[in-house]
Amino acid sequence: MVDNMKKTIEDLLEGTDIKINGKRDWDLQVHNPRLYARVLAEGSLGLGEAYMDCWWDCKRIDVFMTKVLSARLDDKVKGNILWSLLWARLTNLQTKEKAKVVGEKHYDVGNDLYKAMLDKRMTYTCGYWKNAKTLDEAQEAKLDLVCKKVKLKPGMKVLDIGCGWGSFAKYAAEKYKVKVVGVTISKEQVKLAKQLCKGLDVEIRLQDYRDVNEKFDAIISLGMFEHVGYKNFKEYMKVVHRCLKDDGLFLLHTIACNRSATVNDPWIEKYIFPNSMLPSASQITKATEGLFILQDWQNFGTDYDKTLMAWHKNFTKAWPKLKKNYNERFYRMWTYYLLTCAGTFRANSISQNQLWQIVFSKKGLNKVYECVR
């Protein structure tokens, strides 16, 4: 039985350039033969959990995942996706109460972890590597890109939906002399963001985006839309429309998928970002129809590969100090998260991830919008 299942996995891997117990860095090293049945029955969830359980290893998980996704193996081994689809259709996984779960489970996991892993400004979104050589440079370039795209000027009032640890708020207040209101559902982010932005014209709130009801000259959202959920896309856009002044600009920075879906990868959903999903282009445009006019759409998804690999390098370098607060299973989980995600952006296939920055206006502009790159 085990031999038959191993043969099935080997057949699936045919054409991917991946071998079981091969000698190359991207080959699977199987420690427990029950892995084959687990992957065939549970798909990506079983593969990820088996790695956390030390059933297999791979020196270059990022390369392994790139090869798997480039060969579209994710379409062939779906595991328990049907139940996830049904559950997503019957329930709203991103209500105000359920939205708090990702804050508690992911963003509140420990500020020491994020301080060690991220850049000096603690920016937990994709960097912009066009002219950057380091993670710090890439993140500052991204923050400046956002400021320029929404045409910030001194004295403006800006809303940052999903403000994280205040990296954009601090940068915009320092460099562009604007007032920033940042909202997040993470208690740990609020605590640290207030410290980092102390002395600046920045207000950090523990608040759901749906409860914001005031006017802003510009609105930005960096890496938060992935937590909104397709059932709430329209409501999200209505909130932004309500809060944006008529002549203002709104920038949406989000990881996205080339194909419309209603659920996330099962392993990512369970261990990293609960109640999350990636939007598609059609889902975004449908949600904005009748509310906004599209001004600009930029894709720099391949930059997320570099960003994730930089985060992984920082994480592994800091692990000797971090491990007093986290166990070995967490180390394998976090390693798998960072490297598999890097692989999804590197694969850049029709079913895989993109990183989009989209600029909207409410009523159009009285002149041509000048795109910034």
pLDDT for residue 308: 98
Judge whether 257 and 282 are in contact, CB under 8 Å.
Answer: no
Q: Which helix (H) or strand (E) holds 85?
A: helix 81-90
| Residue 84 resides in a domain | no
Q: What pLDDT, in 10s, does the model give residues 198-215?
A: 999 999 999 999 999 999
Query: Quick check: is 163 catalytic?
Result: no
Summary mean pLDDT of the chain: 90
Residues 186 and 57 in one domain: no
Pairing outcome for strands 353-361 and 293-299: antiparallel
Residues 66 and 196 in one domain: no
What is the mean pLDDT of the segment spanning 161-184?
98
3-state secondary structure of 182: strand
Q: Which of 141, 146, 216 is nearest to 183 (CA)?
A: 216
The structural domain count of the chain equals 2
Q: What pLDDT, in 10s, does the model give residues 72-88?
A: 776 655 544 333 433 34
Crossing angle (nearest 10°) for helices 35-52 and 2-13: 70
Q: How many other CB atoms are there within 10 angstroms of residue 68's CB atom?
A: 24
| Cα–Cα distance, 299 to 303 (Å, whole number) | 9
| Residue 176 resides in a domain | yes
Residues 14 and 152 in one domain: no
Residues 110 and 73 in one domain: no
Burial class from Cβ neighbours inside 10 Å (0-12, 13-18, 19+) for residue 48 reads: buried
Residues 75 and 191 in one domain: no
Q: What pLDDT, in 10s, does the model give residues 311-328?
A: 999 999 999 999 999 999
The top-scoring range by mean pLDDT among 3-12, 72-81, 82-91, 118-127 is 118-127
Q: Is the pLDDT of residue 101 over 80?
A: no
Q: What pLDDT, in 10s, does the model give residues 242-301?
A: 999 999 999 999 999 988 887 788 999 999 988 889 999 999 999 999 999 999 999 999
Q: Position 114: which residue type?
A: Y
3-state secondary structure of 158: strand
Q: Is the pLDDT of residue 96 over 60?
A: no
The top-scoring range by mean pLDDT among 6-10, 65-69, 93-97, 115-119 is 115-119
| Residue 179 resides in a domain | yes
Token pair of 126 as six digits: 């994709």
Q: Is the pLDDT of residue 351 over 60?
A: no
Residues 283 and 137 in one domain: yes
| Cα–Cα distance, 308 to 340 (Å, whole number) | 9
| Cα–Cα distance, 225 to 239 (Å, whole number) | 13
Q: Position 45: which residue type?
A: L
Kindly name the residue from 54, 163, 341, 371 that is annotated as catalytic: 341
Q: Which range of residues forms the domain containing residue 160?
A: 95-361
pLDDT for residue 75: 62
Q: What pLDDT, in 10s, does the model give residues 128-159?
A: 999 999 999 999 999 999 999 999 999 999 99
Residues 160 and 15 in one domain: no
| DSSP output for 293-311 | EEEEEEE-THHHHHHHHHH
Crossing angle (nearest 10°) for helices 328-347 and 35-52: 110
